[in-house]
Amino acid sequence: MRVKLSTLGCRLNEAELAGWSRELEARGCQIIEAEDAADLVVLNTCAVTAEAMRKSRKQLRRLQREHPRAQVVVSGCAVSFGADDQLGEHGIDLTVHNRDKDRLVALAREALALPWMPEGATEPGAAALFARGRQRAFVKVQDGCRYQCTFCITTRARGEERSRPIAEVCREVQRLVADGIQEVVLTGVHAAGYGRDSGSSLDELLAAVLAETDVARLRLGSVEPWDLSDRFWQLFEQPRLMPHLHLPLQSGADSVLKRMARRCKTRDFARLVETARSAVPGFNITTDIIVGFPGETEHEWAQTRDFVAQMGFGDLHIFSYSPRRGTLAATMPDQVPTAVKRERSRALHGLARRLKREHLAQQVGRIQPVLIEGFETAGDGLTQVGYTPSYLLVRVPTGGADLSNRILPVRIERVIDEAEHGPPEGNARPPGLLLGGMSDIGTE
């Protein structure tokens, strides 16, 4: 069978899609690209915002148009809110609730009478990796969240916290290593709460993966800034655990954080950042900020702006608040006018650009081990791109030689200004880039 897989939203959705891909390939299925005709389409939807729901509907329509003869399976958070009503589409052959995602392949086979080989009939690794050419894989280690942030719909969509057994995660990571993956990203809805339902912990999981697998680089996805132990930070002394964390702050005003029902005040967050940077000099901390949360005053906005500047984040993901039906925040008074949110977002983007460039400038002159991930999409075939351990994007002239999937020492020569990288698309600002040259100290 030819299968087209598609996802929107978070890294957890991508990790789930990659897991389905590996399971389908083990059954003899062929994972195809967009230009090929599929027998089966699987879409993993997102519903974190109303815009995400709109994009999920649009993606479904596009997939149905491109693969008119395919059977269609839809899962994800949009399904958890009722696929028939929320997606508003016909022609869906099977919907799979979030709680049943781990059994999606088996459920699809049973419900749709899909013809494929018995599990294990194909040679391990013979079908290659999901999304050919990738050197990084996402592994889902946990699902669900027990907390109730007032703006978040994910808790309703994902349900109770559920952690995968450590041994199972280690086996999956080692299988990826055997298939050539250099870097694995562990991800979950509330990764810091890993193991609370099974008597384990995130630091225990990380220690096991580092000890029991040969993965060259281990990275974490987004981690809420609480439930992190002292041992967690000590693990970053191991160079295989990458010194970058995305710690969602959401606001730099404690009064707003209280209305959001966040479990971390600004002083606690600042302490975490200090601990991280003490563990590894140059530790890259990135974050999320919601602009214009209900009731956000000029004073609270100024507190957020000042705290962001104080923390010196390597990058920011900035979201203008939009009411999400079913959340407590949507019913709060004093909703911030759109024009005010737009202006605050514009100002924060300007601050984020300055902070990121300052962070990038600190790398100039240093030699960094860079995982080469491939040629630039719109390049001339002479330059490849890759990431440093702290997740900074580097452009590396290789003279046309394909050095993909190698970790190479690269001397950082300068920061590439945004103007050199082309204009931003829509309201998004382009990612910061470093320009590096191949070092003469050998390869890793």
pLDDT in tens, 31-71: 887 667 889 999 998 887 778 888 888 899 889 888 988 99
Distance CA 62, CA 56 (A): 10
How many Cβ atoms sit within 10 Å of the Cβ of residue 350? 11
Is 108 strand, coil or helix?
Answer: helix
Q: Tokens 């008597």 sit at which residue?
A: 199
In this model, does residue 442 exceed pLDDT 50?
no
Burial of 68 (0-12, 13-18, 19+ CB in 10 A): exposed
Q: What share of the chain is helix, strand, coil (3-state, %, to 5)?
A: 35, 20, 40
Which strand ranges, in their side-by-side order, compose the sheet holding 136-143? 162-163, 136-143, 183-188, 217-220
* Choices 3.40.50.1370, 3.40.630.30, 3.40.50.2300, 3.90.1280.10: CATH for 2-112: 3.40.50.2300
pLDDT in tens, 206-245: 999 999 999 999 999 999 999 899 999 999 999 999 999 9
Distance CA 277, CA 83 (A): 44
Comparing 193 with 80, which gets the higher pLDDT?
193
Strand partners, 36: none
pLDDT of the residue at 87:
54
What is the percent of the chain where pLDDT is above 90? 54
Locate all alpha helices (DSSP H) within 161-297, ordered by sequence.
Answer: 166-178, 202-212, 230-234, 254-260, 266-279
C-alpha 425 chain-centroid distance: 20
Distance CA 376, CA 194 (A): 36
Are 408 and 370 spatial neighbours (Cβ–Cβ below 8 Å)?
yes
Q: How confident is the model at residue 326 (pLDDT cuts 50, 70, 90)?
A: confident
pLDDT in tens, 247-291: 999 999 999 999 999 999 999 999 999 999 998 998 999 999 999
In this model, does residue 412 exceed pLDDT 90?
yes
Are 331 and 300 spatial neighbours (Cβ–Cβ below 8 Å)?
no
Are 7 and 17 spatial neighbours (Cβ–Cβ below 8 Å)?
yes
Look up residue 121 and give its two tokens.
Answer: 């009939």
| 135-242: in CATH 3.30.750.210 | yes
Q: Letter for the amino acid at 44?
A: N
pTM score, whole prediction: 0.81
Mean pLDDT taken over the chain:
85
| 243-362: in CATH 3.30.750.200 | yes
pLDDT in tens, 157-182: 777 889 999 999 999 999 999 989 99
Distance CA 290, CA 248 (A): 10
pLDDT of the residue at 377:
65
Distance CA 200, CA 195 (A): 4
Distance CA 305, CA 331 (A): 26
pLDDT of the residue at 241:
97
354: left (phi over 0), alpha (psi -120 to 50) or beta: alpha
